[in-house]
Amino acid sequence: MSLKSPCLSPRHLRDDVIIPVLRICAGDDAPGFASAAGVELVLGTAAVESRLRALRQIGGGPALGLWQMEPATHEDIWANFLRYRAKLGERILMLRGECPPKERQLVTNLAYGAAMCRAHYYRRPEPLPAAGDVLAQGFYWKAHYNTHLGAGKPGDYVDVWRTLVAPFLT
């Protein structure tokens, strides 16, 4: 896949999905959930993980949706994080439909996928990198989303942001 031509507009994804969804999920119990840094990291994660094209992991792996979240990660967020943050969990559940079930919503429901990506980062105690600091976002994505076992590198995040996201945000 070419890095230069997204199938989905990064600006539309940011303005029409990510920002409204993170605002819906934010609350007194989830300060910073809808921060500019959170918005950028969720957008950058979709871009680097799926190139804003793939809804299932290329090569047949388990990752699902634009954010390429694995079902095991999805279940872990619910079992070990959202279970203990009832209000935030309720707001995220409002975004999830009843069909298809659970993690399949990561493929069919952009709002739910964006919220789950942000919840994944939100459960980390380390603060998010500043909005606009794409290199730091790349290192944060690698450490907390792609992990040391993943094939991605912080430079991949930066390259995708510069070629696939930034030119289409204006």
pLDDT of residue 133: 98
Low-confidence stretches of the chain (pLDDT beneath 50): 1-2
Q: How far apart are CA 70 and CA 147, in angstroms?
A: 13
> 136 in helix, strand or coil?
helix
pLDDT of residue 170: 76
pLDDT of residue 86: 96
Contacts of 2 (CB under 8 A, 6+ apart): none
pLDDT of residue 127: 97
| Residues 100-149 pLDDT 10s | 888 899 999 999 999 999 999 999 999 999 999 999 999 999 999 998 88
pLDDT, the chain, mean = 94
pLDDT of residue 1: 43
Say if CB 87 and CB 27 are below 8 A apart: yes
Q: Where are the domains of the chain?
A: 10-168
